[in-house]
Amino acid sequence: MSMFRNLDRRHFLRAGAVSSAVSMSGILGQLAMAAEASKKKPKRSCILLWMNGGPSTIDLWDLKVGHENGGPYQEVNTTAPGLKISEHLPKIAMHGEQLAILRGMTTKEGDHARGTYLMRTGQLPGAAGIQYPSIGSLVSKELGDPKAELPNFLSIAPQRFFAQEAFGPGFLGPVHAPLIVGENQAFNNNQPANMLDESLKVADLSKPKSIDDASAAVRLDLLREMQEDFASGRPGQMAKSHAAAYDRAIRLMQSDGAKIFDLTTEKDMIRDKYGRNLFGQGCLLARRLVEKGVPFVEVSLGNWDTHGQNFEQVKNLSTTLDAAWSSLMDDLKDRGLLETTTIVWMGEFGRTPKINQGKGRDHYPNAWSTVLAGGGIKGGQAIGKTSKDGTTVEERPTTTLDLLATLCMALGIDYEKTNPSNVGRPIRIVDKPCNPITEVVA
Amino acid sequence: MSARLRLIAVLALLAIPSTVCAAEPAPKVDPADAIAALIDKHLSADWAARGIKPAAQTDDAEFVRRVYLDLIGRAPKAPESREFLDDDSPNKRALLVEKLLTLPGHAGHFAAVTRAAWLPQTQSNFQLANAGFQFENWLRMRYRDNTPADEVVRKILTVQFNVNSQNPMIRFVQATGTDPDNNTLVGFYQANEARAENLGSAVSRLFVGVRLECAQCHDHPFARYTREQFWEFAAFFAELNPLPANRPNLVGPVQPQSDKNRITIANTEKRVVARFFDGTSPEWTADRTPRQELADWLTHPENSYFAQNAVNRMWAHFFGYGIQDPVDEPGDNNPPSHPQLLEDLGKAFVTAGFDNRALMRGITRSQAYQLSSKMTHPSQSDPRRFAKMNLKGLTPAQLFDSMVAATGHREPGFMRQNQFNFNAQPNNPRSQFLNRFASNEKVTEANTTILQALMLMNGQFITDVTSLEKGEVLGAIVDVPGWETKQRITALFLSTFARNPSPEELEKFTSYVDRGGANNDKKKALADVFWVLLNSPEFLFNH
C-alpha cells in the first residue's frame, strides 16, 4: 500500500485503466510478465566488505605459524588444496575455492586518513585539488541503471570519520553519492535487536505518524507548486537538484524497494546465521539489495585498530566476519547470484608482523593481504608471497591500483575509461600504472 | 544606490587635490563608497559592452534576507524583517549592514566560513578536527575586532612555536611566548600537520591566490610553476622539516640563515633555498626569520597578489563566484572575468588599510550586490557577468540557524555550540542537521541529497517545529486571538521568507486554510502551510 496518494487525476485514470485491462485481456498480462522477466536479467554487482582500522591480515589470511611474529593462532585448511587461513575463519574456509587471496599487497600509507582514502579511491588525498570518487561511486556509475528505484550505491554502517570524502562521489556528483544506512551506530556493534533493525533502515523514510495520508498528499502538491514557482524565476542546476532530490526521496518512500530495509521479514534462523550484530545484519541487507539489482553495496566492520590486545580482538572480529561472510556466500550461491556478484575484502592497511609490548600490532602497509571472491574471480588460490617473517613481499607485489584494476576486470568494467573531473582534467576509473592480476580473473 | 551616495562617489572620483583648490580640503570619502562606485562602474561598463541587461534591483524583502544570511549566517526573524520592511529611512540598507556587523553572529559566521575555506582538511579528517576548532576561535576574535587582513596574515605567518615530534605518528605544534592568543593561532600549523610543504601549499593558495600543489611532485602541467619553485616557497617554513643529521659539507661562507631557509625536495637529495616564486629573494640577515621575510613580502602594499586574492575571496563570499573562479586557481586557463575591476579593488583595499569591513560595506552598497536573483533576460544567464545575483546554497549551520530563527526552536547552550564533528549526537537536532547536510560542494553548485530531502520532510525536528503542540512560532501564530486567516498566513511568510505573500499566494493559502485543509481543521491546515514553506527552495537557498 503506498503511503501517499497522488491526487493527479491523470495518474489515477492511467493506473485504473491498466489494472482493468490486465484482468480483461491476456495479452497485456503476458506483456507485463515479460517486462518483469527482463527486469530479472542478471546484473553485475559488487560487495565491498570494508574493514575499518587496519585489519591484521597476518592473523587472517597469511599466517606465520611457528615464527615469533606468528602469534597464537593456528591455520586451517580450506576447501582449496594448499590454501590455509586462520582457524578463526572456519566457515569461510569452506568457501576456499571461491577465494583469491592477494598476499602481496604493498602500499605506502600507514595513516588512517591517507590509507583509507588511498584504498577507497586509488589516489592520495588532495592530489592536485581533485576530489576523487570512491570506488563505490565509480563502479555503481558504470553498472547502475539511472532510473532504478533504489540508489545504485548503498553504504551500510560506514565509519567515515577517518576520511569523510573517501566515502563520497567526489567529482562524479551527488547522483552517485551512496545512500547511507546504519551510520553512527557503528560503535555499538552489539545492540538490542529492535535498535539494530531500526538503525539499518533508511533514516526518515516514513512520514511521521502524526500526519495522515491526505494531509501528506496535499502538502506535497503545494510544495511542488512552490518548487515550480521558484525554479521558473531561477533556472539552473540548484533548483533542479532540489526538486529532483525530493522526487527521488518521495519515490523511495512510495516504492516497494523501501521494504528491503525491513529485515524482520527474514526468518529468524537466517538472521541468526548471519549474526545478530550490525555487520552480520548488514551483510544480510547487502544480499537483499543485490537480489534487487543494486550494483554496489559496501558493509563496514570496525574496531580493527588493534595496537593492543590484538589476538583477543581479532578473534572476536574473525568470528563476526566468519558468520556473516560465509552466510552471504551461501545465500548468494543458493540464489545463483554468486557468479554475478564480486566480493572484495579489504581495509586501509595491514599490521606489523612484530608483536609490540601491548600484545598488539601497529600499522603496516608494507606487506599485507586483501581478498577477492565470487563473480569473475578464479578462486581457490593465493597470489603473492611474503617473507617468512611477514615483513616484506617477495613475490608479486600488488599495489592499490593493481587491486582496483583487477576488481574492475572481474566486474567487466573498462578501468581505462575516463570521467571529467572537477578541474576539467579527465580521470581514468583506475589510474596508471596498474597491473591487474589476470591470474585471478575468470 | 541613493542619489546622495552616488554624488559622494562621483566627487571621490573627481578627487580635486587640496593644493589646487586652496580654500577647502577635498571631501573625505568613505572607502566603502569608493569601492561600491568602482564595482558599479566596471560592471555596468561590461554589461553595456556585451549588451547585457541586468536584473531588477532587490526589493527590501529580498535584500534583508540575503544580507542577514551573508553577514551573520542566518535568515532574519519575523520581527526583524517586519521592522526593516516598515522602516522609511532613505539609507536603511547601509544602516542595516552597520547593525549586523556589530552582532556576535557576524564574527561567528565569518570565522566558520573562513575556517572551512582555509582548513577544509579539518572537516574531513577527524584527527585534525581540534586544530580546526582552535583556529576558528582565533579567527572569531579577529573578526570581532576587525583586525585588518594584512595583520591577520602577518600574525599567522610569524607566530612562534615549537614542534614536538617525539611521537612519529603525530607532531604537536606548541605555541611559545606569552600571548595566550597564540595557543589558538597555532591550530593553523597543526591542521597542516606541521609540514613545510603543506604550509607552503596552504599559504600560496590561501593568501597569494596561487595553487602550487600540482608542482609539489612534478612541474605543473597547466601553469608556469616548476617543482623547484614549489619547494623554494615551502622552504620559508623549513624550520618545520628539520634537515637530516648527516648533511653534506658546506662549501663556501655560511649563509646568514644557515639551514633555516633550506629544504630538501621530497624523495630527492636536492636542497633549495627559500625564494619567492616571482623569482626574487629576500635580503637574508641573521636577525630576521624566513617566515618574517615571507610575511613582509606577502603583505607589502605593492604585492598585488595579496590584496587581489583577499578581495576576490570576499567577493566570492557575497556573489557566490569570485572575479577569478575557482578562487585558488588563477592561470592562463582561468583568467579573471573583470581584470581591471580586480586590480582596482585590490588597490582600493590597500588604500583602505586592508579593512575587511570597509570591503564588506562597499560590496553591499553596490548596485550589483543588490540585484535580484530572479532572471528577467537571457543575457543574465552567465554567472560570471554578475548581471543578476547568483543563487547560493546555505551552509549546514546557516540552514539550521535559519530554521531556529523561523520556528522558535529552543535549544540548550551546549547544543547551540555544537559544530560538525563527524558523529551525529542522538537527540541533538542541530548535530543531526550538521551531519546530514555536511558537504564540500561549491556554494553555487549545491546539490540536495535524498537523505536531506527525507530529513526535511519527515525528520523529528521538522515534525516537532511544525506541530501545533510543540512548534513555538507556529503555535503563537495559530493561537493569536482575533486575527484573520490572512494575517496568520502573512505571519508565516514573514517568518520563513522574510516577506509578505503575493496577492495570489495570499488568496491560495488563505482559502486553503479557510476550507480546513485535508481534514476540515483550520489549525492543522496552517501547520501544513508552515511545513510547505520550510521545505520550499525559497527557504532553503540564499537568493
Nearest residue on chain A to B540, alpha-carbon basis: A242
B528 contacts chain A (CB < 8 A): yes
Give a three-class secondary structure readout of B25-76. CCCCCCHHHHHHHHHHHHHHHHHHHHCCCCCCECCHHHHHHHHHHHHHCCCC
Specify burial of residue B365 (Cβ count, 10 A radius: 0-12, 13-18, 19+): buried
**Are B342 and B382 contained in the same domain?**
yes
Q: Most A CBs within 10 Å: which of B371, B437, B449, as the mutation test of the A interface?
A: B449
Four-way CATH pick for A42-201+263-440: 3.40.720.10, 3.90.950.10, 3.30.1360.30, 3.90.1150.10: 3.40.720.10
Q: Where are the domains of chain A?
A: 42-201+263-440, 205-261
Looking at per-residue pLDDT, the higher value among B122 and A321 belongs to: A321
**Are B312 and B432 contained in the same domain?**
no
**Are B184 and B272 contained in the same domain?**
yes
Q: What 8-state DSSP symbol labels residue A361?
A: -
Q: In this predicted structure, what is the pLDDT of residue B278?
A: 79
Q: In this predicted structure, what is the pLDDT of residue A63?
A: 97
In sequence order, what are the beta bridge partners of A153? A296
Q: B541-542 and B392-393: which strand pairing?
A: antiparallel
**Are B479 and B443 contained in the same domain?**
yes
Q: A363-364 and A341-347: which strand pairing?
A: unpaired
Residue B87 lies in a domain: no
Average per-residue pLDDT in chain A?
88
Residue B88 lies in a domain: no
Question: Number of structural domains, chain B?
Answer: 3
| CA B262 to chain centroid | 35
Nearest residue on chain A to B432, alpha-carbon basis: A184
Spatial distance between the Cα atoms of A393 and A58, rounded to a whole number of angstroms? 12
The owner of cell 502538502 is: A219
Please answer yes or no on whether A113 and B538 come within 8 Å at the CB atom. no
Domain boundary among B350, B366, B389: B389
Q: In this predicted structure, what is the pLDDT of residue B213?
A: 64
Collect the ranges in chain B with pLDDT lower than 70. Answer: 1-28, 168, 213-224, 242-258, 330-333, 420-422
**Are B320 and B369 contained in the same domain?**
yes
In sequence order, what are the beta bridge partners of A297? A47, A154
B440 contacts chain A (CB < 8 A): yes
The full DSSP string for B301-337 is: TT-HHHHHHHHHHHHHHHHSS-SSSSTT--BTTB--S
* Chain A nearest C-alpha distance from B354 (Å): 29
In sequence order, what are the beta bridge partners of A344? A48, A372
Range of the domain at B282: 107-299
Residues 6+ apart with CB under 8 A from B180: none
Q: In this predicted structure, what is the pLDDT of residue A308?
A: 92
Q: What is the dihedral of CA B196, B201, B202, B208, to 10 degrees?
A: 120
pLDDT band with cut points at 50, 70 and 90 for residue A18: very low
Please answer yes or no on whether A238 and B446 come within 8 Å at the CB atom. yes
Average pLDDT over residues A374-386: 97
Q: In this predicted structure, what is the pLDDT of residue A29?
A: 55
Q: What 8-state DSSP symbol labels residue B206?
A: I
Helix (H, G, I), strand (E, B) or coil at B343: helix
Domain boundary among B359, B389, B419: B389
**Are B454 and B357 contained in the same domain?**
no
Spatial distance between the Cα atoms of A87 and A43, rounded to a whole number of angstroms? 34
Hey, what amino acid is at A153?
F
Spatial distance between the Cα atoms of A148 and A39, rounded to a whole number of angstroms? 11
Q: In this predicted structure, what is the pLDDT of residue A9?
A: 40
Residue A7 reports pLDDT greater than 70: no
The full DSSP string for B429-465 is: HHHHHHHHH-----GGG----HHHHHHHHH-HHHHHH
Spatial distance between the Cα atoms of B293 and B522, rounded to a whole number of angstroms? 70
A164 contacts chain B (CB < 8 A): yes
Report which of B543, B391, B365, B388 is spatially closest to residue B54, judged by C-alpha positions. B388
Residue B465 lies in a domain: yes
Spatial distance between the Cα atoms of A53 and A280, rounded to a whole number of angstroms? 18
φ, ψ dihedrals at B385, nearest 5°? -95, -5
**Are B187 and B233 contained in the same domain?**
yes
pLDDT tens, A273-297?
A: 999 999 999 999 999 999 999 999 9
Please answer yes or no on whether A230 and B536 come within 8 Å at the CB atom. yes
Please answer yes or no on whether A204 and B452 come within 8 Å at the CB atom. no
**Are B282 and B311 contained in the same domain?**
no
Please answer yes or no on whether B451 and A179 come within 8 Å at the CB atom. yes
**Are B136 and B264 contained in the same domain?**
yes
* Chain B nearest C-alpha distance from A37 (Å): 29
**Are B176 and B244 contained in the same domain?**
yes
Q: What distances in angstroms separate CA A148 from CA A206, A293, A337, B425, one per listed residue?
A: 20, 9, 19, 32
Which residues 484-523 on chain B approach chain A with CB closer than 8 angstroms?
512, 517-519
Please answer yes or no on whether B531 and A423 come within 8 Å at the CB atom. no
B127 contacts chain A (CB < 8 A): yes
Average pLDDT over residues A60-75: 96
**Are B128 and B173 contained in the same domain?**
yes
**Are B400 and B470 contained in the same domain?**
yes
Spatial distance between the Cα atoms of B178 and B481, rounded to a whole number of angstroms? 61
Chain B residues within an 8 Å CB radius of A163: 124-125
Domain boundary among B389, B405, B435: B389
Please answer yes or no on whether A245 and B541 come within 8 Å at the CB atom. no
Residues 6+ apart with CB under 8 A from B96: B64, B67, B84
ipTM of this complex: 0.87
